[in-house]
Amino acid sequence: MVRKVRIIQAVKEESNRRHVVELLVTLGNTVRTAEFTLADRSHMEFPVLIGRNVLMDSMTVDISKKYISTPMPPAP
């Protein structure tokens, strides 16, 4: 855990605090360290959101394409 942040959502009046963790992220051939806030996303379509701060300076997003990188096998 790196720190805690206060999150204010437009749909709720109250704010909440979330833990921020630093994780190693692999997207295609790119590996980098990034910070993520932790939240229960079990009821949502996507379990993880990759923000522009992770993609910045190393990737271009083409929304017309899907699954263009070969998945890496899971770590043992």
d(CA 25, CA 31): 6
In this predicted structure, what is the pLDDT of residue 76? 74
pLDDT at residue number 45: 92
With a CB cutoff of 8 Å and minimum separation 6, the contacts of 53 are 34
**Three-class secondary structure of residue 54 per DSSP:** helix
If pLDDT is split at 50, 70 and 90, which confidence band does 3 have? very high
Q: Fill in the amino acid letter for 11.
A: V
Single pTM value for the model? 0.67
pLDDT at 68: 85
Residues 6 or more apart whose CB falls under 8 angstroms from that of 30 comprise 58, 59
pLDDT in tens, 48-74: 888 888 888 888 888 899 888 877 777
